[in-house]
Amino acid sequence: MTHSTTAPGAPVPAEQQEREAEITRKVLESFDGCTDPRLRQVMQALVRHLHAFVREVRLTEQEWNKGIEFLTRTGHITDERRQEFILLSDVLGASMQTVAVNNEAYGEATEATVFGPFFLENSPEIEPGGDIAFGAEGEPCWVEGTVTDIAGTPVPGARIEVWEADEDGFYDTQYGDDRMAARGHVFTDSDGRYSFWGLTPTSYPIPHDGPVGKLLEAVGRSPMRAPHLHFMVSSPGLRTLVTHIFVRGDEFLDSDTVFGVKESLVKDFEAQPAGTPTPNGRDLGDRAWSRVRFDIVLAPDGT
């Protein structure tokens, strides 16, 4: 018998195919005794897809080693402040695919997008029309809208968490001190309305000084995210919505590195020249500002 390695794309001899399929069968069978049916289903599907991948690309042993080294580096850079595995999931679109699977379209409910790593519990509460900046630099942006259910009924008392990067593209958590800035939460009023001052969003790169950044560089992809403002909206009896709004016209809308952009979430941030009166009488001196409207529709819980 002659021995050789089938090149990627070349036909795999029938006898070799059978040998490879036999390995997959044995591994799948090894989970048959798992008494948790969901765990069995997930593990068997994982094995099927993983083996199919190895066979399809005819993975070399050097490539297998490189993969293991990559995952090892990903683990080593991960700690309580930095989660490189989530970043990897994000740039592979696995996070957005999971969001899609778990937030099926429901009537006119607002679409969800990726959560990202920069949310913090215990953000400050902001009065209606208050400012979330807390010293973060950036152009002021008036944000207003309503929260309704899919029947159009206003949702009073909905909790709206918002967070964003400053004009240099950094979240407060990235400064390595204890500051809390450019984040907060507001509640809708009795008519389901909300408003606050944020910052006009700017684009920023995801953390790209680690293995995920190297991967993006190797494949010629940009680490940039399209400018956005994060929202998490919750109210009892309604599906919690995690989403962002994006700035219409931005250059990175079509190449957002974590695939988070959805057309329905792209909004007009209207530029307001310095001196334009503000909606709540805030005196901005000689600063320009912007304004955006985001009406939020929540699906019922359990949908």
Binding site for Fe ion (CB under 5 A): 116
| Binding span for ligand BEZ by CB under 6 A among 65-73, 114-122, 143-151, 280-288 | 114-122
Query: How far is CA 13 from each of CA 6, 18, 19, 36, 137, rounded to the nearest angstrom?
Result: 8, 9, 10, 37, 63
Q: Which of 114, 143, 162, 233 binds ligand BEZ (CB under 6 A)?
A: 114
**Binding string, 71-90, against ligand BEZ, x = CB under 6 A?**
----------------x--x
- Helical pair 211-218 and 84-91, crossing angle rounded to 10 deg: 20
Show contacts with ligand BEZ in window 180-199 (CB under 6 A): none
Residue nearer to ligand BEZ on the CB measure, 96 or 292: 96
- What phi and psi values does residue 124 have, to the nearest 5 degrees? -70, 145
Q: Which of 84, 88, 103, 116 binds ligand BEZ (CB under 6 A)?
A: 116
Least distance to ligand BEZ, CB of residue 257, Å: 8
- Cα separation, 145 vs 229, in Å, equals 14
- Cα separation, 85 vs 63, in Å, equals 19
Are 208 and 156 contacting, i.e. CB atoms less than 8 angstroms apart? no
Closest by CA to 250, choosing from 233, 229, 221, is 229
Among Fe ion, ligand BEZ, none, partner that 114 touches (CB below 5 to 8 angstroms by kind) = ligand BEZ
Residue nearest to Fe ion (CB): 116
- Cα separation, 133 vs 158, in Å, equals 21
Residue nearer to ligand BEZ on the CB measure, 109 or 261: 261
Residue nearest to ligand BEZ (CB): 116
DSSP 8-state class, residue 279 = T
Show contacts with ligand BEZ in window 242-271 (CB under 6 A): 258
Tokens of 26: 């044995």
Residue nearer to Fe ion on the CB measure, 113 or 290: 113
| Binding span for ligand BEZ by CB under 6 A among 32-40, 113-121, 140-148, 194-202 | 113-121
- Cα separation, 294 vs 36, in Å, equals 43
Q: Which of 162, 182, 186, 206 binds ligand BEZ (CB under 6 A)?
A: 206
Integer-rounded Cα Rg, in Å, for the chain is 24
> Is 93 near ligand BEZ (CB under 6 A)?
no
Show contacts with ligand BEZ in window 117-136 (CB under 6 A): 117-118
DSSP 8-state class, residue 103 = S
Least distance to Fe ion, CB of residue 177, Å: 19
DSSP 8-state class, residue 264 = G
Show contacts with ligand BEZ in window 17-76 (CB under 6 A): none
Q: How many Cα neighbours within 13 Å face the side chain of 213?
A: 9
Q: Contact residues for ligand BEZ (CB under 6 A)?
A: 87, 90, 114, 116-118, 206, 225, 258
